[in-house]
Amino acid sequence: MMDTAHGVGTYDISVEHASLQRVPTERGTRYSLHLNGQIDERWAEAYRLERRESRTSSRFELDPKAAMVTFASDPGGAASADIIDALDLLDAMVERVNHRAATVDH
């Protein structure tokens, strides 16, 4: 985040696609990846709000301390197509969160 004279500033968090890892679990396959940038409490709260308000974003779980997002693959979809779609959704979500966190009243 970059501070400005008006207080909040801008956020430039992004998804690190190269960090994508497959994580087998008892309930199926999950994927994890890292976020680039400094995640503070304001950004994490904007993420929680965005996730709660959007059905498509609810699958992405944030660990703000690790700067990591995890999500489950769609059991009915083709694996690689589902992952590409999920990454596109996550990129868009992170952009919305960057904007939301930078506004005074998110």
CATH number at residue 85: 3.30.200
How many domains is the chain built from? 1
Backbone angles phi, psi at 102, to 5 degrees: -80, -15
The boundaries of the domain holding residue 46 are 14-101
Q: Do the domain assignments include residue 7?
A: no
Residue 85 lies in a domain: yes
Query: Please, is 82 exposed, middle or buried when counting C-beta atoms within 10 Å of its C-beta (0-12, 13-18, 19+)?
Result: middle
Helix (H) or strand (E) holding 52: helix 41-53
pLDDT digits (tens), the chain, 106 positions? 444 434 568 999 999 999 999 988 888 889 999 999 999 999 999 999 999 999 889 999 999 999 999 998 766 555 688 899 999 999 999 999 999 999 966 5
- From the DSSP assignment, how many helices (H) and strands (E) are in the chain? 2, 4
pTM: 0.85
